[in-house]
């Protein structure tokens, strides 16, 4: 007999797995990048394609088919690739082949496994990096590059903002020293690589500039037009946007081939993942250089194209939205749903705990973008998500969201 917790996890997790299969089927991202995205971007113990192999593609397919028969939601219809692999007998770990290939239950190299020769190389020389912004994300990116040995020029609106970045990095370095993970010499070296400026003209000689300013398309377009004027020929222009079209930033420049997405995850000093996002115009050597640069800074780069949600948000937020819709049915409490996911899937947080950490306003905005991009009725934001945002219950940052934090 299936337990309540198993029912909850199956209801929420299997559509997420199906979405991941479709993402891979569409060649939007490789199997390795789909799985690495969720492991390193969300802290999941296993990626969705590897998880499907472990459960059994036939098991997942049958459960989704039953769900689709009940809901009629196209998002629940088993992906064509899932059907095809099951028909070929590639049902996962137990069969020795699914999305990956297995021997004695362990994954082994196959035709899709990258070789050492596939490792990206720096096709542009990168010695000096620029960062625009002084917020939490910007300060984290500055520290990531400085710790990796790069001279960093960071630009903010005032000397106070610039000083705040230095204070943040100093505090982080002092904390590392206190934990035995650093020393004063390393701290001084990191701080010695920093140059703050209140004028964007200070970015004239950087090899790559990363913007981490407000998620406002017009503000970003103005910035990219200015960077195009200021930065030397050959400089790479990157955006950390998590939601806006990178092609729109590129269109504001005369060098769309040099514009790329570098979506760091917060906190940038801790989270390993960077989604490297290319537009139709991004030059292959720019893409390869950025992926190689990520590796040199200790990050895991995953590659994808310029569409809403990229890899991680496109897989994560529909699952969170589905959790809200499940709660609206009134059969399970928020606490029960959170507990079931942590128990059954070993995720670090339940969906409502995670929504409150991310911010329900942020979650709603992303879900709206996904709904607009893909047009699936099943991606429409849950009514209760709209309600908590309208009531100002945005999560931990306001002291109340789906849970209370008084």
- Spatial distance between the Cα atoms of 377 and 373, rounded to a whole number of angstroms: 11
Burial class (CB in 10 A: 0-12, 13-18, 19+), 167: exposed
User: What are the residue numbers of the active site?
Assistant: 242, 263, 275, 313
Long-range contacts of 53-59 (CB under 8 A, 24+ apart): 53/92, 53/93, 53/98, 53/99, 53/100, 53/102, 54/92, 54/93, 55/17, 55/92, 56/91, 56/92, 56/93, 56/94, 57/82, 57/85, 57/86, 57/90, 57/91, 57/92, 57/98, 58/86, 58/91, 58/92
Question: DSSP string covering 274-329, please?
Answer: EEEEE-TT--HHHHHHHHHHHHHTT-EEEEEESSTTTTHHHHHHHHHHHHHHHHHT
């Amino acid at each position: 007999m299936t337990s309540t917790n198993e029912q909850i996890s199956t209801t929420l997790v299997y559509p997420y797995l199906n979405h991941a299969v479709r993402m891979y089927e569409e060649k939007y991202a490789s199997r390795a990048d789909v799985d690495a995205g969720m492991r390193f971007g969300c802290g999941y113990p296993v990626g969705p394609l590897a998880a499907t192999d472990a459960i059994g593609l036939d098991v997942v397919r049958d459960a989704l088919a039953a769900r689709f028969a009940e809901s009629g939601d196209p998002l629940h219809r088993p992906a064509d690739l899932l059907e095809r692999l099951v028909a070929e007998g590639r049902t996962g770990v137990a069969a020795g082949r699914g999305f990956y290939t297995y021997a004695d239950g362990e994954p082994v190299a196959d035709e899709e496994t990258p070789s050492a020769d596939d490792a990206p190389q720096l096709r542009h020389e990168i010695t000096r990096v620029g960062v625009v912004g002084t917020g939490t994300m910007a300060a984290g990116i500055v520290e990531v590059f400085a710790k990796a040995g790069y001279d960093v020029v960071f630009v903010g609106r005032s000397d106070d903002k610039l000083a705040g970045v230095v204070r943040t990095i100093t505090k982080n370095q002092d904390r590392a020293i206190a934990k035995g993970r650093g020393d004063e010499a390393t701290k001084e070296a990191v701080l010695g690589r920093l140059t703050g400026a209140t004028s964007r003209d200070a970015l004239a000689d950087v090899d790559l500039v990363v913007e981490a300013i407000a998620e406002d398309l017009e503000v970003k377009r103005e910035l990219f037009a200015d960077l195009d004027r200021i930065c030397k020929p050959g400089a790479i222009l990157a955006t950390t946007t998590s939601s806006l079209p990178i092609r729109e930033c590129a269109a504001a420049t005369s060098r769309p081939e040099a514009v790329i997405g570098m979506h760091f995850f917060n906190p940038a000093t801790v989270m390993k993942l960077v989604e490297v996002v290319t537009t139709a115009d991004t030059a292959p050597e720019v893409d390869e250089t950025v992926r190689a640069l990520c590796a040199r800074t200790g990050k895991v780069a995953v590659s994808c194209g310029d569409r809403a949600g990229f890899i991680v948000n496109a897989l994560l937020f529909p699952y969170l939205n589905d959790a809200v819709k499940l709660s609206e049915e009134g059969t399970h409490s928020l606490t029960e749903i959170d507990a079931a996911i942590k128990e059954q899937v070993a995720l670090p947080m339940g969906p409502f705990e995670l929504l409150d950490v991310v911010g329900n306003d942020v979650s709603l905005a992303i879900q709206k973008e996904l709904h607009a991009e893909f047009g699936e009725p099943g991606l429409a934001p849950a009514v209760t998500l709209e309600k908590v945002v309208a009531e100002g219950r945005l999560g931990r940052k306001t002291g109340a969201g789906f849970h209370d934090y008084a």
